[in-house]
């Protein structure tokens, strides 16, 4: 999903909704107060959990055991501008799986002593451009209850500046 923002006339930037793969937004009912006849009034609030969307039923069951009435479970969405934090060109932000398989050939004598370990799959925020370089890999998406990205040691990028609506301040400058 995309939308546009403009700080001045002629400076339009697109804003994209990026779904985080390892985090969900849970909307649930909370008892606010009781009316005169004794029936309770409920309001809705939300919380973020560091679990994949594929485990909706398990999340719903865990929260039901704790007495929480779940209304809906959705993937967590982050709004990012089309301005790439790495090269400052326009691109489309996406979450992409990084290939973590080890394809090196080893030549040690006793292969049973040091087996090849499998690394878990990594999800990275990338910006796709129309010109070369076609992709800019920005930061790794981490499994946290808030919109989180792991700090990239090679690139010192503060991603919180590029979330919408905070990006409008950068665009004005």
Task: Please write down the long-range contacts of 45-51, taking CB distance under 8 Å and 24 or more positions apart.
Answer: 47/145, 48/23, 48/24, 48/76, 48/145, 48/146, 48/147, 49/23, 49/24, 49/145, 50/22, 50/23, 50/143, 50/144, 50/145, 51/22, 51/23, 51/24
**Number of structural domains found in the chain:** 1
What are the b/e assignments for 122-153, b being 16+ CB within 10 Å? ebbbbbebeeeeebbbbbebbeeeebbbbebe
Q: Along the 173 residues of the chain, how does pLDDT read in single tens digits? A: 455 555 566 667 788 888 887 778 888 888 777 776 777 777 888 888 877 778 888 888 888 888 888 889 888 888 888 888 888 888 898 888 887 777 777 666 666 556 667 777 788 888 899 888 788 888 777 766 555 677 777 777 776 666 665 555 555 54
What tokens appear for 86 in the block?
A: 């790495």
pLDDT, residue 173, reads 47
pLDDT, residue 164, reads 63
pLDDT, residue 54, reads 80
123 is in which domain, residue-wise? 2-172
């Amino acid at each position: 999903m995309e939308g546009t923002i403009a700080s001045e006339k002629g400076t339009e930037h697109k804003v994209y909704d990026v779904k985080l793969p390892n985090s969900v937004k849970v909307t649930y009912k909370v008892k606010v107060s009781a009316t005169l006849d004794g029936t309770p009034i409920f309001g809705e609030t939300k919380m973020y959990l560091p679990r994949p969307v594929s485990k909706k039923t398990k999340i719903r069951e865990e929260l039901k055991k704790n007495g929480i009435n779940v209304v809906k479970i959705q993937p967590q969405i982050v709004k990012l501008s089309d301005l790439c934090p790495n090269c400052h060109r326009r691109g489309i932000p996406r979450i992409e799986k990084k290939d973590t398989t080890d394809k090196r050939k080893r030549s040690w004598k006793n292969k049973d002593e040091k087996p090849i370990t499998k690394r878990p799959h990594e999800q990275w925020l990338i910006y796709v451009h129309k010109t070369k370089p076609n992709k800019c890999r920005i930061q790794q998406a981490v499994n946290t209850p808030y919109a989180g990205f792991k700090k990239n040691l090679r690139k010192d990028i503060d991603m919180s500046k590029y979330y919408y609506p905070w990006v409008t301040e950068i665009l004005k400058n």
